[in-house]
């Protein structure tokens, strides 16, 4: 009798572990863009080139968005307004 209860207990523990390992589909990330606040006048870090945002920071943001399977939204702000904008 104890052997049967032990086997049932072990089976339940294994089932709980396997359920915990199951992945769930998260809602689409594409509906939430990666918003990046920039001041595009600091070449080569971030700057405007032919009306597009370019530079190291833009490249990093684009790579991160690609990894997250979403798009980048660059938001141009004055340097002194970037921290207050994050706190809103």
| Both structure tokens of 59 | 């490249």
Write the burial class of residue 26 (CB in 10 Å: 0-12 exposed, 13-18 middle, 19+ buried): exposed
Q: Which pTM value belongs to this model?
A: 0.64
CATH number of 2-87: 3.40.190.10
- How high is the pLDDT of residue 11? 80
Angle, alpha carbons 74-46-84 (nearest 5°) = 55
- How high is the pLDDT of residue 14? 80
| Digit-coded pLDDT (tens) for 18-29 | 777 766 655 556
């Amino acid at each position: 009798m104890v052997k049967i209860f032990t086997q049932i207990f072990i089976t339940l523990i294994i089932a709980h572990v396997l359920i915990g390992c199951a992945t769930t589909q998260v809602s689409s990330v594409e509906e939430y863009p990666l918003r990046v606040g920039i001041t595009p006048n600091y070449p080569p870090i971030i700057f405007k080139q032919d009306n597009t945002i370019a530079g190291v920071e833009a490249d990093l943001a684009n790579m991160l968005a690609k990894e997250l399977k979403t798009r980048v939204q660059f938001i141009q702000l004055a340097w002194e307004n970037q921290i207050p904008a994050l706190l809103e």
